[in-house]
Structure 1
């Protein structure tokens, strides 16, 4: 299992490299943080078919059904914006409690078998990051910066 932070501004290219190099990497999670917007974006990438119907093989694409790196999930964590006096806005995320953020796209589910390259046994299971857990992550991240 590789755990690397992706800091590249082109996550598609980075995910493609990690997934398509013939390695055992089955899943890539990319995280980007915008200090200006206090926005956190989490992307989950896997090898997947381009569409629901199989593509025919052609000279231009001899193996049209080869799975390609695809973003299969996107989660955003953004601060709630409050309207202050005289129509100005203020971010309630500064020094915020967990209730000061909105999470869209949760939960983040990381299949056990994709992470550890073996089936789960006994009490092992998929890793599930709920909206509440992601809120804790965001709060801790911003308080630490």
Structure 2
């Protein structure tokens, strides 16, 4: 039996990070519950203090196939390297010629940088190529 899971990011600005990763992964912010036009309307109806409205956010695969990603506000800043990171696979895999994979990775990296990612380094071995980036809060991830 497969077990479903979500990935959770601790962060200082859940909404901003959720929007970045929604763009990066072609995901979406979930719709508010039935009967509500916005999340703020829903939170207000549940008597959640406005000061807590930015305490969490999430994104979902619009096709329902990928895992949900959750963002929760924490008081402390990121200090050290992530112990877990996401790899975005855009290259087409080893059946794709290396130069085509490099071109795809570079194109996706350029797109992500326009959404707030920051370039850290390019990596290449004899048959692999990837780029290490950080999201707007400094979380490392790779584009393969």
Compute the TM-score of the two structures, normalised by the length of structure 2.
0.30
Compute the TM-score of the two structures, normalised by the length of structure 1.
0.29
Larger radius of gyration: 1
More strand by share: 1
